[in-house]
Amino acid sequence: MIHLLKTSFHEGLLNIREKLGSFLVTLLMVSLSFMVFDIFLVVSWNVGTVLSNEQENVGIELFLNEDVTEVEAVNLADLISVMEGVRSVYYVSSLEAEAVFRADLPEQADLLILLGPQFHLPSSIQISLRPDYRASEKVSGLARTVSGMDGVKDVVYGQEYLPGLTRTVDMMGKLVILAGLVLAISLSLVVANTVRLAVVKRAPTVEIMSIVGAPGWFVRMPFLGEGLITGIAGSAGSLLLTGVISSILSSSIPHDFLPGKWILLVLLLGAASGAAGSWMGMRSGIPKPRS
Amino acid sequence: MLISFQNVSRFYDKWPALENIELTVESGEFLVLSGPSGAGKTTLFRLIWMGDFPTSGVVEVSGYRSDRIRKGDLSNLRRKLGIVFQDFRLLSERTVFDNVALPLQVAGSSPRAVRKRVFSLLAEIELSHRRSSYPHELSGGEQQRVAIARAMVAHPVILLADEPTGNLDPDVSKQVIELLLEINRTGTTVILATHDPRQIPAGTARYLYLDKGHLANPVSWDGYNQL
Ligand SMILES: Nc1ncnc2c1ncn2[C@@H]1O[C@H](COP(=O)(O)OP(=O)(O)O)[C@@H](O)[C@H]1O
Ligand SMILES: [Mg+2]
C-alpha cells in the first residue's frame, strides 16, 4: 500500500512535470484572480473591524430629570437591567458626570464654573446592549420603551448612523460570500478545464493503467492531486502577493492583514474549488478502457 | 473451469457483435480464436477482461461474474490477466523498463521486487540491453515482446493476445508465437485471436471459429485442417 501511494504520488508529479509551463500559467492565473478576492477581504476585514467597534459602542444613554433622587434612579436602573437585550446598566450621578466632563475636557472645565453653582449636569443611566440587540430596529424599539418611563428627560443613541451601520455590516458580509462563491465557481471551472485537458492527454496512459489492474482511485489520484495543488498553491500564492502589497501600503494606509482564521478559509476555499474542479474535469474526461 | 460464457450476447444498437455464445476454457489451455475481421474476437476478449459487459448472459472469469462484479474488483480481476494488443499499446513516454514494470507498480510491489522481476523477464526475452530505450526506438517485433513481457510480469493466470502478430512480418510473428507457446508450457492459459490459425503447430491448441458474432460449432469444426 505504501509503495502504491508512492507510485501514485510519482504519477501525479509526472503528470505535472509533463506540462510544467502551462501548469505555472494556470497557477499564476488562479493566484491573480484570488488576489482580487484577498484584497477585497482585507478591505472588508478592516472596515468590518472599525464598524463592529462602532457597533460595540452602540448603547442607550438615558438622561434623567433633575428631581429624580439617587434612590429612584437606582431603582429605575434595576428595572431596566432586567429588560430583554440589556447587557449592563450603569448609573452616572450628576457629580460623576461632572467629574468625567472635567477629566475629558479639562480646558472647558471653566464653563461649569461660569454656569454657576446651581447648574448641574443631568444624571444619566448608561445602557449597554447585548450584541444581537445592536441592530437598529431593536435599539430604537428599546429606546422608545425606556423613554416613556417616569423621570426620563431624554434618550440618546446613535440614531443618525445606526440604520446605515447595520445595513453596511450586513451588506459587506453578503458581498464577501458572493465574491467567494463567484471565485469558487470560476476557479473550479478553470481547474475542470485543465484537468479535462490533462485527462484527454493522458487517456492512453490511463487506459493502459486500468487494463493492467490499477485501482480506480490510483487512476484518479493524479488528477485530483493536480486540482488540489492548483487550488491550494494558487490561493497561497495570492495570499503571498496580497501580503506583500499590504505591507508595502501599510505605512501610507494603516490597516491589518487578514487574521489566521480568514487565511485558513481562503486556503480551504482554494482546496475545495480545486477538488471540485478536478471532479468535474474527470467526470467529463476519464475514458472507459476500450478494445 | 477458468472462463465460461453462458448464453452471452453483446449487441451494439441491435446489431449483434456476439450472439448466444457458450464457451468454457480450462486452466492451462491454449485456445486459438480465428475469424474474419469484425467477427467479434475483440468483443469477446473485452468481455473477458470486463472492459465491456454482455447485453444478456453471464461471463465468468476466475470466479468473477460479469453480472455481480463490483467496480472495485475490476482491478483485482485484471491483475489475473495479461493482455496483448495488435498495436502493442506501450506508453511512449516511458522506457522499456517502466513499461514492463507498470502492472507491478500499480499493484503496489516494492521497487526492489519490481526491479528483480523486470530484469529477469527482460533477460528471458533477450531485451535486457534495451531496458532504457523508448518504444519508438524498437522494432515492431521488439515492441510486441516488450508488450508480452508487460502482460506476463505479474504472473497472470490467463494471457489474452488479440492479433498480436497482425502488424508483424512472418519471421518476427513466428518468434512471438514461439513466445506464447513457451508461456503456455509454463502453465498459463493462453487465448490467441488471429487471422491465421496455421501459425500454431497442429495438436497444440484448441481452435474456435467466430463468424458474424456466432461461434462455429466448436466441437466438430476443425479449423486447422480446413484451412
Ligand atoms: N464500441 C462499439 N460500438 C459499436 N460497434 C462496435 C463496437 N465495438 C465493436 N463493434 C462492432 O462489433 C462487431 C465486432 O467487432 P470486433 O469484436 O472488433 O471484431 P474483430 O475483433 O473480430 O475484428 C463489428 O461489427 C464492430 O463494428
Ligand atoms: Mg479485433
Chain B residues closer than 8 Å to A18 by CB: 93
pLDDT band at A288 (very low <50, low <70, confident <90, very high): low
What CATH number does domain B3-80+156-226 carry, 3.40.50.300, 3.90.1150.10, 2.10.109.10, 3.30.930.10? 3.40.50.300
Kindly tell me the sign of the dihedral angle through the C-alpha atoms of A133, A138, A140, A143: negative
Q: Is the ipTM of this complex over 0.85?
A: yes
Return the pLDDT at B191.
97
Query: Reading across the β-sheet that carries B64-65, which strands appear in turn?
Result: B15-25, B3-12, B56-61, B64-65
The C-alpha cell that represents B1 in the structure block: 473451469
**pLDDT above 60: residue A258:** yes
Return the pLDDT at B227.
47
Q: Give the distance (Å) from ligand 2 centre to CA of residue B136.
A: 23
Return the pLDDT at A15.
76
What confidence tens digit (pLDDT) does each residue in A100-152 have? Answer: 878 877 777 777 777 777 777 788 888 888 877 777 677 778 888 888 888 88
What confidence tens digit (pLDDT) does each residue in B6-18 have? Answer: 999 999 998 999 9
Show the domains of chain A with their CATH numbers: 2-53+165-285 (no CATH), 59-157 (3.30.70.3040)
**pLDDT above 90: residue A179:** no
Please state, in angstroms and rounded to a whole number, the distance separating the CA atoms of residues A148 and B2: 94
Return the pLDDT at A154.
84
- Full-model pTM: 0.73
Kindly tell me the sign of the dihedral angle through the C-alpha atoms of A67, A68, A69, A70: negative
What confidence tens digit (pLDDT) does each residue in B100-134 have? Answer: 999 999 999 999 999 999 999 999 999 999 999 99
Chain A residues closer than 8 Å to B110 by CB: 3
Segment holding B57, helix H or strand E: strand B56-61
B82, β-bridge pairs: B159
Q: Does B150 touch chain A (CB under 8 A)?
A: yes
Average pLDDT, integer, range B42-52: 96
Average pLDDT, integer, range B35-43: 93
CB within 8 Å: A213 and B110:
no
Which ligand lies nearest the alpha carbon of B164?
Answer: 2
Q: Which of B8, B12, B162 has most ligand 1 atoms within 8 Å of CB, for mutation? A: B12
| Domain spans, chain B | 3-80+156-226, 91-155
Task: Please report the atom of ligand 1 found closest to the CA of residue B40.
Answer: 17
**pLDDT above 70: residue B225:** no
Which ligand lies nearest the alpha carbon of B210?
Answer: 1
At residue B67, what are phi and psi to the nearest 5 degrees? -90, -5
pLDDT band at B74 (very low <50, low <70, confident <90, very high): very high
Q: Give the distance (Å) from ligand 2 centre to CA of residue B214.
A: 15
